[in-house]
Structure 1
């Protein structure tokens, strides 16, 4: 038996064995890492959902004390005071599976900056005639704090060339050329919508949802573990073929150093 497996000490098999000893742990490591990424995204998703649920019942805090917006502050209830200014519409937004538009009004605060406030949602095509005018005078608003949107992410439209008075994304970068105010790099959606509109629910911060990237991590996990199993399978297959070849050569069924060739008449 020892003689049969002596081929394992040849340079060719040394190379095969070293490759297997390096490849299998590497595949297992990469699979485990991808799995940990998926589990982290699941945990972030759960934490974001719990934060959004608890945020609806917590006491609202002053806006300036909750900036900048990050995973720990997104969705938290904040309050701000000021006077409403320019109003814009955000078309192509869905609420409860229905398509419509947001009514976005800039709140000019005492800090000299304007805060984008989503006062509510209306069904149908964006139409300024449908959007109710904002309250006049000094107002205090309360709503969920949200990070600036990125066009192309989470269903946010990246289209340009919209009619005057409309914007595709709610972000300081998108609004800076549309309004004559300095802007907060954040926005809020009111707890209770104004004037018959429907309140827009807060969304989870970016990178915390079970999106395509999360399931890609899960898919890559399976691929790496399959690769590890395939490497082990091929090593055993080569080993078995080599052992059979050595035994056949020892019995004189094949000539040593040639392919496994059956002797004529055998």
Structure 2
């Protein structure tokens, strides 16, 4: 009854099922592991953010390069602010209000300057409203952040901005603004000076970490791959049951056999033909 499983058609069906189901299960498990990794990173970032305000700052050099583990940690650096290149980052929201970041570059003794977001002000970017940075050598501490990219939340394209304004905070955007090297990271000051209108900018999570939309996309892809595996198994069983029923019906004679071949010419017709042949006439 099951001899149909040995046909070339069923060899192809079985091979496809044997290969497709493990691949679907592997891809689903991989997507699930990515979602679990994002959950773990989200929990770690919440712990880091909760303790960042009271944590003792660490030297900047010991936290570079910025990754998912060091992002948001308190870092400190010593140097002098570059008062000749004040910078603003417009179109940044804080607590649902539109405003701009106040960005200053700290010239350290390590060869590269450190971008420092000293705070946030509401409204349009206006350098006349920005308080001057401290003069002389200062030690600045703040939450460490990775350089922004075009895909980061809240980052604009920066096209057509006036002089002294940036669309995103990164070494790539600063390379044509200042005549010296800049760290591919920045810090945001969490304790602004007393009496200043600047509001602290909370640290943001690095790209592709935390429970964002991409994390829940991984969870959705997990379900899709497992559904694909179940669909392959369902279709294999459905085809198997159909062919089994056809084989059973054929064995019981419920399916008509092949049509009989047309009958050959009768003996009388053959004899008549031979009687009319030239040889018989002769």
Q: Same fold, TM exceeding 0.5?
A: yes
Determine helix, strand or coil for the equivalent of 2:204: coil
Q: CA deviation at 1:215?
A: 2.2
Which stretch of structure 1 is more off in the superposition, 219-228 or 131-140? Answer: 131-140
Q: CA deviation at 1:112?
A: 4.0
Determine helix, strand or coil for the equivalent of 1:202: coil
Q: CA deviation at 1:230?
A: 0.9
Q: Does 1:104 align with 2:103?
A: yes
Q: Does 1:131 align with 2:130?
A: yes
Give the RMSD, CA atoms, in angstroms: 1.9
Q: Does 1:225 align with 2:226?
A: yes
* Counterpart position of 2:176: 177
Contact residue 41 and residue 68 of structure 2 kept, 8 A = no
Contact residue 49 and residue 204 of structure 1 kept, 8 A = no
Which stretch of structure 1 is more off in the superposition, 228-237 or 44-53? Answer: 44-53
**1:129 & 1:12 partners in 2: Cα distance?**
79
Spell out, residue by residue over 1:125-170, the C-alpha distance to the aligned partner (whole angstroms, 9 max, x if none). Answer: 1111221121222222111111111123233222322011100111
Determine helix, strand or coil for the equivalent of 1:118: strand
Q: Does 1:24 align with 2:21?
A: yes
Q: Does 1:141 align with 2:109?
A: no
Q: CA deviation at 1:181?
A: 3.1
Counterpart of 1:38 (choices 22, 35, 38) is 35
* Counterpart position of 1:90: 89
Contact residue 73 and residue 145 of structure 1 kept, 8 A = yes
* Counterpart position of 2:75: 78
| Cα distance change of structure 1 residues 227 and 163 upon mapping to structure 2, 3 Å threshold | same
| Cα distance change of structure 1 residues 23 and 64 upon mapping to structure 2, 3 Å threshold | closer
Determine helix, strand or coil for the equivalent of 1:107: strand
Q: CA deviation at 1:256?
A: 4.7
Q: Which runs of 4+ in 1 moved over 6 A?
A: none
**1:176 & 1:112 partners in 2: Cα distance?**
14
Listed as ranges, the gaps of 5+ residues in structure 1 are 259-266
Determine helix, strand or coil for the equivalent of 1:25: helix
Q: CA deviation at 1:257?
A: 7.2
* Counterpart position of 2:113: 114
Specify the structure having the higher radius of gyration (Cα).
Answer: 2
TM-score by length of 1: 0.88
Contact residue 93 and residue 154 of structure 2 kept, 8 A = no
**2:121 & 2:258 partners in 1: Cα distance?**
81
Q: Does 1:239 align with 2:236?
A: no
**1:20 & 1:181 partners in 2: Cα distance?**
60
Listed as ranges, the gaps of 5+ residues in structure 2 are 260-282
* Counterpart position of 2:64: 67
| Cα distance change of structure 1 residues 10 and 129 upon mapping to structure 2, 3 Å threshold | same
